[in-house]
Amino acid sequence: MTDLERHDYDVVVIGAGGAGLRAAIEAHEQGARTAVVCKSLLGKAHTVMAEGGIAAAMGNVYAQDSWKVHFRDTMRGGKMLNHWRMAQLHAQEAPDRVRELEDWGALFDRTPDGLISQRDFGGHRFARLAHVGDRTGLELIRTLQQRTVALGIDVFMECTVTRLLTAPSEQGTAGSVCGAFAYRRESGEFFALQAPSVVLATGGIGKSYTVTSNSWEYTGDGHSLALAAGASLVNMEFVQFHPTGMVWPPSVRGILVTESVRGDGGVLKNSNGNRFMFDYIPDYFRKETAETEEEADRWYTDKTNNRRPPELLPRDEVARAINSEVKAGRGSPHGGVFLDIASRRDSDYIRKRLPSMYHQFMELAEVDITSEPMEVGPTCHYVMGGVEVDPETAAAVVPGLYAAGEVAGGMHGSNRLGGNSLSDLLVFGRRAGTAAAAHAKTVSALGLPESDLEDARDVALAPFERGGGENPYTIHRELQETMNALVGIIRTAPEVEEALVKIEELKVRAKALTVLGQRRYNPGWHLALDLPNMLRVSECIARAALERQESRGGHTRDDFPGPSDKWAQINVICTQEGESISLTRKPLPVMPPELAEIFEESA
C-alpha cells in the first residue's frame, strides 16, 4: 500500500481516557517517542463522565486508613478473585498518584484543614474518595490532557484503530506487536502507526447491553483487538451492574446516578417506604454492616464506633437486592426503587455535594432531588474482565502489547468497588507507560506487514461493497436486547445457551451487512466496524458465564446460587484461534502469607 499514510513511534497508546493519557505521559517522560490515538476528541473520553471520586488511602479524613485496609476492602469487594499483586500495588501507589495529579494542577475539594477531601463510597471502610464535587472525572481528564498537550505528545483524535499489527515470522520476532491500522472518522482515510510497543487503554464493553451508563465509545474494541493479536482475556463473565441508574423517562434509562448519593446519606426505599437493604445483608458482610437504621445513621458522623449502612454494601449486593424488590412487586412506578436524599439532607448540602445529580434529574426527568426521591434501578456499568496482564508491567502475553484501565482484567476480581477505577487508571497507566517505553528501547524497528495492511483495508471497506445486506443498527439492537435479557444481572444455563445461539446468528448476519453512503463521517460505517468487536466480546462474556458454575460478584447464576470453594480458586481465560474462542481454567496466583494475614486479623 504505497499510498498509505504512515507514522513511526516508539510507543503508541490506543485510548485517551485516564489510563491512556497517564501511560502516554509516562512513556514520553521515559524518553519514548509517543503518540495517542482516540475515537473521540481529546478530553471527551469516557473517563470524563466519572463522578464520585478516586479511591486512595491518604487518611485525610480518617487517619486510621492505610493501604492495607484499602487492599483488604478491594479484595473482599472482588470476593477474593482479584489478582492480589495488582490489588496490593493499586492500594500502595494510589495516594502518590492522586498527589501527583494535584501537583499537575488538579483542584480537589478540601477538608476544613485544607487537605484533599475524601468521601464515603460502597465497600470502603473509611471515607477514601478524593473528589471534585460529583465531577471528578472531568478534573482528572482536564489535568492529564493539559499535561499531554504541554509535553507535546502527538494525538490522533477522532481516529479508530481496527487492527493491531504483529511482526511476520521472517523477522524472527513472530507475534510481537509492531503497530496498528486505523481510520480517520472525519474523512474515512486510513493510516498506519508503526511502533514496537502498543498500550491498549480502550475502556469497556457496555454498548453491548441495552440499559447502560456507558458512552458510545464502549464497544469492547481493545478486548477484541487483543484477542485477535494473540492475547488472553481473564474472567469476562464479571460485568458490573451498577445499582443506581435512572429508570425514567425511557430516553435516559441507564444514565448513572452516582454512588455518592448514598455515600452522602441517601437511602434506598421500596414502594412501602421500607429501607429494604437491611433485609439483604449477606453473612459475608454482616460483621461490618449496621443492623439498625439508628446505627447506620450514626456511622456518617462516627465511623469508629458504628458500622456501615447496608446501602453502602458493594454494588453487586445492592443491585441484586433492588432486582429482588422489583420482582417481588415492591418497586417504584417505572420499575425501579426510590433513592431518597431529600428527606435526609438540606437543599444547600445536596446542591453543593451533588451538583451534577441535581441538574441531571431536573433537566432530564423534571425531578427536584432536594425535595423528592429519585427512581433508580440497575444499569450495565463496568467490565471487571479484561486483558490478562502482568501486574508489575501491565504486559499482555503478546510481546510489546500492554493494557491498562478498564480494558485490563484481574485488578477488581468479580466486583469493582466504586472509586477504584480512577485510581486503577493512574497506577497501571503509569506502569504500562514505563514498561512500554523500556520495551521499545530493546527492539529495533520491525517494519509493517504489508499483506495485513491490505487485508485490514479490504475488511474495512467490505460493508460498502456488498449490496443488499441489513444495516448495522438492526444487528446492534438485537445484540443489546439479547445480552440484556439473557446474559444480564441474573443468569441461567438455558438462557445463556440461547444467547450464544443468537450471537452466532448475528455474527453471520454481520458478515453480510451493508453500509450506504460514503466514507466521510459515516456513523453507520463506524458501527459496522465496531460490531464484530461487540459480538466477539459478548461471546466471551456468555461463554465464560456458562463456564463459571457459581454466583460471585457481578456474576449471578440462578441455577448455581452462592459461591463455591472450587470456583474460588479458578480464573476463566478466553483465547482466540482463527475465528473461534477457546476457554481454559487457570488456578489463581497464591497470595503470600504476609498479605493473607491481613484477612485473618480482620476475620
Ligand X SMILES: Cc1cc2nc3c(=O)[nH]c(=O)nc-3n(C[C@H](O)[C@H](O)[C@H](O)COP(=O)(O)OP(=O)(O)OC[C@H]3O[C@@H](n4cnc5c(N)ncnc54)[C@H](O)[C@@H]3O)c2cc1C
Residues designated catalytic: 242, 262
Q: Which cell numbers in the block locate residue 245?
A: 441508574
Q: Which cell numbers in the block locate residue 190?
A: 486510513
Which distant-in-sequence residues (6+ apart) come within 8 Å of 133 by Cβ?
Answer: 109, 352, 353, 354, 355, 356
The residue among 203, 153, 184, 194 whose CA lies nearest residue 35 is 153
CB closer to ligand X, 205 vs 322: 205
CB closer to ligand X, 144 vs 296: 144
Choose one: 59-67, 314-322, 416-424, 473-481; the region binding ligand X (CB under 6 A).
Answer: 416-424
Query: For the packed helices 136-151 and 18-29, what is the interaxial angle rounded to 10 degrees?
Result: 30
CB closer to ligand X, 49 vs 374: 49
Q: How far is the CB of 219 from ligand X (least distance, A)?
A: 7
| Candidate list 10, 13, 46, 91; residue touching ligand X; CB under 6 A | 46
- x/- map, 154-173, ligand X, by CB under 6 A: ------xx------------
Q: Please give the size of the binding site for ligand X, defined by CB under 6 A.
A: 42
| Candidate list 47, 176, 194, 414; residue touching ligand X; CB under 6 A | 47
Burial of 297 (0-12, 13-18, 19+ CB in 10 A): middle
- x/- map, 544-583, ligand X, by CB under 6 A: ----------------------------------------
Strand ranges in 503-589 using DSSP code E only, listed in sequence order: 570-577, 580-587
Residue with the shortest CB distance to ligand X:
17
Q: How far is the CB of 161 from ligand X (least distance, A)?
A: 4
Which distant-in-sequence residues (6+ apart) come within 8 Å of 362 by Cβ?
Answer: 368, 369
CB burial readout 181-208, b (16+ within 10 A) else e: bbbbbeebebbbbbbbbbbbbbbbbbbb
CB closer to ligand X, 367 vs 499: 367
| Candidate list 11, 27, 49, 396; residue touching ligand X; CB under 6 A | 49
* 58 near ligand X, judged by CB under 6 A: no
CB closer to ligand X, 17 vs 463: 17
Q: How far is the CB of 358 from ligand X (least distance, A)?
A: 15
Residue 347 has phi, psi (to 5 degrees) of -60, -40
Q: Scanning residues 98 to 157, which ones bind ligand X (CB under 6 A)? A: 136-137
Q: How far is the CB of 136 from ligand X (least distance, A)?
A: 5
CB closer to ligand X, 38 vs 500: 38
Q: Scanning residues 10 to 39, which ones bind ligand X (CB under 6 A)? A: 14-20, 37-39
Q: Scanning residues 186 to 215, which ones bind ligand X (CB under 6 A)? A: 201-203, 213-214
The per-residue DSSP string of 449-473 comes to -HHHHHHHHHHHHHHHH--S---HH
Q: How far is the CB of 433 from ligand X (least distance, A)?
A: 13
Q: Scanning residues 335 to 374, which ones bind ligand X (CB under 6 A)? A: none
CB closer to ligand X, 40 vs 370: 40
Q: How far is the CB of 190 from ligand X (least distance, A)?
A: 13
Q: How far is the CB of 564 from ligand X (least distance, A)?
A: 28
* 382 near ligand X, judged by CB under 6 A: yes
| Candidate list 341, 367, 425, 573; residue touching ligand X; CB under 6 A | 425
Q: How far apart are CA 589 and CA 391, in angstroms?
A: 11
| Candidate list 50, 369, 448, 527; residue touching ligand X; CB under 6 A | 50
Q: How far is the CB of 568 from ligand X (least distance, A)?
A: 25
* 410 near ligand X, judged by CB under 6 A: no
Beta bridge partners of 267: 340
Q: How far is the CB of 419 from ligand X (least distance, A)?
A: 5
| Candidate list 13, 25, 53, 130; residue touching ligand X; CB under 6 A | 53
Q: How far apart are CA 121 and CA 263, in angstroms?
A: 5
Pairing of strands 177-184, 159-166: antiparallel
Which distant-in-sequence residues (6+ apart) come within 8 Å of 441 by Cβ?
Answer: 10, 32
Q: How far is the CB of 327 from ligand X (least distance, A)?
A: 25
CB closer to ligand X, 26 vs 406: 406
CB closer to ligand X, 80 vs 255: 255
Please say whether the beta carbons of 52 and 263 come within 8 A.
yes
| Candidate list 340, 406, 452, 547; residue touching ligand X; CB under 6 A | 406
Q: Which cell numbers in the block locate residue 224?
A: 477484541
Beta bridge partners of 38: 157
CB closer to ligand X, 18 vs 399: 18
Please say whether the beta carbons of 555 and 71 come within 8 A.
no
Choose one: 298-306, 334-342, 399-407, 561-569; the region binding ligand X (CB under 6 A).
Answer: 399-407
Asked if omega into 249 is within 30° of 0 (cis), the reply is yes
Q: How far is the CB of 341 from ligand X (least distance, A)?
A: 17
Please say whether the beta carbons of 386 and 420 come within 8 A.
no
Q: Could you tell me the strand order of the sheet in which 177-184 lies?
A: 5-8, 190-194, 177-184, 159-166
Which distant-in-sequence residues (6+ apart) come within 8 Å of 210 by Cβ?
Answer: 254, 477, 480, 481, 483, 484
Q: Scanning residues 452 to 511, which ones bind ligand X (CB under 6 A)? A: none
Strand ranges in 356-510 using DSSP code E only, listed in sequence order: 374-383, 386-387, 401-403
| Candidate list 25, 27, 35, 51; residue touching ligand X; CB under 6 A | 51
Amino acid making up residue 400: G
Q: Scanning residues 239 to 278, which ones bind ligand X (CB under 6 A)? A: 256
CB closer to ligand X, 315 vs 557: 315
| Candidate list 240, 415, 421, 551; residue touching ligand X; CB under 6 A | 421
Burial of 295 (0-12, 13-18, 19+ CB in 10 A): middle
Which residues form the interface with ligand X (CB under 6 A)? Answer: 14-20, 37-40, 45-47, 49-53, 136-137, 160-161, 201-203, 213-214, 217, 221-222, 256, 382, 405-407, 418-422, 425
